[in-house]
Amino acid sequence: MATLYPVILSGGSGTRLWPLSRAMYPKQFIRFFDDGDPSFLGATLRRLLPSEGFASPILLCNNDHRFLVREELERAGIKPEAIYLEPVARNTAPAIAVAALDVAARDPEGILVVMPSDHVIDDKAAFADAVRRAGAVAAAGRLVLFGIRPNMAHTGYGYIRSGGPLADGDARVVEAFVEKPDQATAEGYLAAGTYLWNSGIFVLHARTFLDELKRLAPDILAAARGALSKAREDLGFLRLDGNAFAAAPAISVDYAVMERTQKAAVLPIDVGWNDVGSWSSLWEIADQDDKGNYARGAAIIEDSSGLYVHSDRSLVAAIGVKDLVIVDTPDALLVADKKRAQDVSKIVARLKSEGRREHEQHVRNYRPWGFFETLSIGPRFQVKLLHVKPGAKLSMQRHHHRSEHWVVVHGTAKVVIGDNEQLVRENESVYIVATQWHRLENPGKVPVEIIEVQIGSYLGEDDIERTDDIYHRAADETR
C-alpha cells in the first residue's frame, strides 16, 4: 500500500472560542479540560503515528505560531517531515497544494491525510482504520473526504449528499455539497439518511490532486510551486516565499477543487468526531453533571442547568439560570446564550474594529524563550512576571522610552547590561536604564522567574530594538 502522509493545517484563529482562543494563542494550543491532557494539536499529532505505519507529519502554520507548534511536537516526541510557515493567510487550498507538491517530490505514489489541527476524535483506532481504507480508494484515483454520520439536525455544519457506492470499498459517490442549512432543512437531511456532515478531513493521492488542481485552479498550483521553490530554511522551519504565496487566491479546497471535480468520493465514518467550532460544541463533549453543567476552575452553581463555565482566576457563581456559556479570563468575561455561541465571532470582529487588543493577546503572552504575564499596569508603570525556560535567552535589546527593574524570584539569571555580565540569584535585583543594551539568559536547569517593573512614558511591546536574537525574529516582530 502507498505511504500515508499526515498533513496538519494549524493556521486557524478559533474566533468562536474567544476569550480563551485568541489570535496569538488560538484554540489548537489550549487545554480546555485538563492541563495534563494534550492540546487539540497535540491530540492530532498523536492520531496517526509513525510507529503505526504512517509517515512523519507535515505541518503548515503561520509565523506567529511557529514556536508553539514546535513545542507541541517536542511534547509528543515526534520529528516532523517539515514545518512550513505561511507568510500570509490564504485558506486551505494553497496550503494543501504546497503539501501535495512536497509529498509528490518525496514519493510519487504518496497519499496525503489532510487534517485540521483542532478537531476531536474519540475513537483513534477506528479513525486510523478509516484512513487506511480511504487510502486504498485514493490510490485508485479518487479524492476522498470523510463524511460524519449525523446524529442530530445540526445547522452549524456543511453537508454532503452521498450517492451510490463505489466498487472499491465503503466509499460513495459525492452527489452534491450543501452549505449550512436552516433548522427545517437540517431535519430533512437527517430524515433522508443520505446526507453526511462535511468533516474537512481529506485523503488525497498527491499526483491526482495536483492534476485536478492544474485543471481547475492553475493559479493556485503556480503560486504554491513558486512559494515552495523559493522556500528557505530557518531554525528547522521552511519559510514559503511571501510574494509567490500571496499571489494565490484565498480559497478553501472545497470551493477550489472538491465541489468541481468528478473524482470526489466520501467515506462515511463514525469515530466520535467534533470540530469544536463553538462553546456549545465544546459543552457537548464536556464531562457534565446530572444537570448538564460543566465547570472548570472556581465555580458555584445553584439551581441551574446546561451551563458551560470556565474560570481562570475569579470565582464564578451562577444561580437560577440555564443554557449559558460563562468564560472568565483575567482581562475578558463572556456570558452568552448557548444557542448564540456561533455569534461569538461577531464580538471578535467588534474588538478588531474598535482597535482593542483583547482579541489578539492574553494577559499571558508566549514567547520562544517562555512567557511573560502582565500583573499590573498604570499611567507610567507596568509590572510583569517573566518566565524563562532552562537554556533559553532573550535577544540583546534596548528600549527608548522605558527603564526596567528586575527582581529574581526563582532560579538564577545571567544578565548582560552594556559591557557588564553578572549572575543574579533569588532575591537579588538589577536596574536597566532606558537606551541601555541588555540581555537575560537562563543558564540553569530550572525555570527563571523575574518580576519586572517598567517605568516610562511609553510601555508598548513595540518599543524594542533587537540584535543577536537566537530565534531569528524580524526587527518588527514583537514576539
* Strand partners of residue 8: 59, 115
Distance between CA 260 and CA 128 in Å, rounded?
28
> Model confidence at 476, in pLDDT bands (50, 70, 90)?
low
**Is it the case that residue 410 has pLDDT exceeding 90?**
yes
Whether 205 and 138 have beta carbons less than 8 Å apart is answered as yes
pLDDT at 168: 63
- The arithmetic mean of pLDDT across residues 196-203, rounded, is 95
- The arithmetic mean of pLDDT across residues 131-158, rounded, is 92
**Is it the case that residue 126 has pLDDT exceeding 90?**
yes
**Is it the case that residue 116 has pLDDT exceeding 60?**
yes
- The arithmetic mean of pLDDT across residues 62-81, rounded, is 94
pLDDT at 461: 86
Whether 48 and 80 have beta carbons less than 8 Å apart is answered as no
- Interacting residues of 402 by C-beta distance below 8 A, sequence separation 6+: 434, 454, 455, 456, 457, 458, 459, 463
**Is it the case that residue 32 has pLDDT exceeding 70?**
yes
**Is it the case that residue 294 has pLDDT exceeding 90?**
yes
> Model confidence at 307, in pLDDT bands (50, 70, 90)?
very high
Q: Could you give the C-alpha distances from 378 to 452, 455, 456, in angstroms and in order?
A: 14, 10, 11
Residue type, 169: G
> Model confidence at 478, in pLDDT bands (50, 70, 90)?
low
Taking only the tens place, the pLDDT of each residue in 337-381 is 999 998 999 999 999 999 999 999 888 889 999 999 999 999 999
> Model confidence at 322, in pLDDT bands (50, 70, 90)?
very high
The strands making up 465-467's β-sheet, listed across from edge to edge, are 420-424, 413-417, 438-441, 396-398, 465-467
Range 164-169, long-range pairs (CB < 8 A, 24+ positions): 166/137, 166/142, 166/265, 168/136, 168/137, 168/140, 169/133, 169/136, 169/137, 169/267
pTM over 0.85, yes/no:
yes
Distance between CA 270 and CA 123 in Å, rounded?
9
Taking only the tens place, the pLDDT of each residue in 233-284 is 999 999 999 999 999 999 999 999 999 999 999 999 999 999 998 999 999 9
- The arithmetic mean of pLDDT across residues 53-69, rounded, is 95
> Model confidence at 475, in pLDDT bands (50, 70, 90)?
low
- Spell out the domains of the chain, with CATH numbers in brackets: 4-274 (3.90.550.10), 279-352 (no CATH), 364-467 (2.60.120.10)
Distance between CA 400 and CA 417 in Å, rounded?
15
- Interacting residues of 211 by C-beta distance below 8 A, sequence separation 6+: none
Strands (E) located in 206-272: 232-234, 237-239, 264-269
Whether 172 and 164 have beta carbons less than 8 Å apart is answered as yes
**Is it the case that residue 156 has pLDDT exceeding 90?**
no
Distance between CA 143 and CA 122 in Å, rounded?
25
Distance between CA 82 and CA 99 in Å, rounded?
9
Count of Cβ atoms closer than 10 Å to residue 400 Cβ:
12
- The arithmetic mean of pLDDT across residues 433-437, rounded, is 96
**Is it the case that residue 479 has pLDDT exceeding 80?**
no
> Model confidence at 437, in pLDDT bands (50, 70, 90)?
very high
Intra-chain end-to-end CA distance of the chain, in Å: 43
Distance between CA 175 and CA 164 in Å, rounded?
9
Residue type, 123: D
Residues listed for the chain: 479
* Strand partners of residue 415: 422, 440
Strands (E) located in 241-287: 264-269, 273-274
> Model confidence at 81, in pLDDT bands (50, 70, 90)?
very high
Distance between CA 302 and CA 163 in Å, rounded?
50
Q: Could you give the C-alpha distances from 182 to 133, 154, 205, 448, in angstroms and in order?
A: 33, 9, 34, 53
Q: Could you give the C-alpha distances from 457 to 373, 378, 379, 434, in angstroms and in order?
A: 20, 11, 8, 11
User: Nearest CA to 48 among 97, 100, 113?
Assistant: 113
Average pLDDT, the chain: 94
Whether 325 and 334 have beta carbons less than 8 Å apart is answered as yes
**Is it the case that residue 35 has pLDDT exceeding 80?**
no
- The arithmetic mean of pLDDT across residues 202-230, rounded, is 97
**Is it the case that residue 167 has pLDDT exceeding 80?**
no
User: Nearest CA to 4 among 169, 229, 202?
Assistant: 202
